[in-house]
């Protein structure tokens, strides 16, 4: 089962390389790789770089997740929720691969509303991530890692249950905003709020439990 996640990432990386090779003759010498909120290209890269940078990022993320079990200290092992962490790895690689596909499509003359395409994809990513956020156990690499969640297992789980709901809600709202063509800044505000709420909640909950003497000896 564990191997299948890495095989999936390897296949995605190879597909990116093959897709780039297939359309390479059609690519301009300088390819747009970054756009502003209005969809105007404001960053360019040489076409040969498409063989390197995005696949390298996908490979780097895969390698990082592969190393997390070894990097994790005792009592904070990523291996304790391995299937969830590897699922998140695949989600990230898919998202990066999708951005690569968007770059290729646009560079070869395809019609595409770049801001909406990217915002929609990130919204789906948040939905998928939110669905498993409650399964993430206490660790130093993945999840809502504040001083208060790391200090208390009870605060960690409560915060991640809230984060799961916040991310799913933000993902759904983000999809509506993206495809209804509302302001990009509204989308950014919704996503930012979904991140800030669990952070603040972790502090508030920790301090409440501390006042009540309910933390006990469960802090690491």
Residue with tokens 């690569």: 100
Tally of structural domains, the chain: 2
Boundary residue ending a domain (89, 112, 135): 112
The mean pLDDT value of the chain amounts to: 94
- Indicate if 100 and 124 belong to the same structural domain: no
- Indicate if 147 and 200 belong to the same structural domain: yes
User: Using a CB cutoff of 8 Å and minimum separation of 24, what contacts does 1-10 make?
Assistant: 1/83, 2/82, 2/83, 2/86, 5/86, 5/87, 5/89, 5/90, 6/62, 6/66, 6/86, 8/90, 8/93, 9/58, 9/62, 9/89, 9/90, 9/93, 10/62
Q: Are 169 and 96 in contact (CB under 8 A)?
A: no
- Indicate if 191 and 101 belong to the same structural domain: no
Boundary residue ending a domain (61, 85, 112): 112
Structural domain containing residue 31: 1-112
pLDDT of residue 2: 87
pLDDT of residue 213: 86
- Indicate if 79 and 119 belong to the same structural domain: no
Q: Collapsing DSSP states into helix, strand and coil, what is residue 140?
A: coil
For residue 84, is pLDDT > 60? Answer: yes
pLDDT of residue 147: 96
- Indicate if 3 and 106 belong to the same structural domain: yes
Mean pLDDT, residues 193-200 taken together: 97
- Indicate if 204 and 140 belong to the same structural domain: yes
Q: Are 191 and 174 in contact (CB under 8 A)?
A: yes
- Indicate if 30 and 66 belong to the same structural domain: yes
Using alpha carbons only, how large is the chain's radius of gyration in Å? Answer: 20
Q: 175-184, 197-206, 207-216 — which one is most confidently predicted on average?
A: 197-206
Q: Are 139 and 78 in contact (CB under 8 A)?
A: yes
- Indicate if 3 and 59 belong to the same structural domain: yes
Q: Are 190 and 145 in contact (CB under 8 A)?
A: no
Q: What is the pTM of this model?
A: 0.91
Boundary residue ending a domain (112, 138, 163): 112
pLDDT of residue 216: 64
Percent of the chain clearing pLDDT 90 (strictly above): 86
- Indicate if 123 and 17 belong to the same structural domain: no
């Amino acid at each position: 089962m564990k191997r299948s996640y890495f095989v999936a990432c390897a296949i995605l990386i190879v597909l990116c390389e093959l897709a780039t090779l297939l359309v390479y003759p059609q690519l301009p010498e300088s390819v747009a790789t970054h756009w502003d909120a209005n969809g105007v290209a404001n960053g360019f890269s040489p076409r040969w770089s498409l063989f390197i940078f995005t696949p390298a990022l996908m490979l780097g993320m895969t390698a990082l997740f592969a190393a997390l079990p070894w990097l994790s200290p005792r009592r904070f092992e990523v291996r304790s929720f391995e299937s969830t962490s590897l699922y998140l790895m695949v989600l990230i690689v898919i998202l990066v691969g999708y951005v690569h596909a968007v770059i290729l499509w646009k560079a070869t003359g395809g019609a595409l509303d770049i801001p909406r395409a990217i915002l929609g994809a990130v919204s789906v990513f948040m939905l998928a991530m939110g669905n498993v956020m409650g399964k993430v156990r206490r660790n130093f690499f993945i999840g809502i890692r504040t001083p208060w969640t790391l200090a208390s297992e009870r605060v960690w789980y409560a915060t991640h249950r809230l984060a799961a709901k916040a991310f799913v809600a933000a993902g759904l709202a983000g999809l509506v905003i993206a495809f209804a063509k509302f302001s990009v800044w509204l989308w950014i505000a919704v996503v930012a709020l979904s991140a800030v709420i669990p952070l603040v909640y972790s502090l508030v909950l920790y301090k409440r439990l501390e006042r009540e003497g309910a933390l006990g000896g469960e802090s690491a």
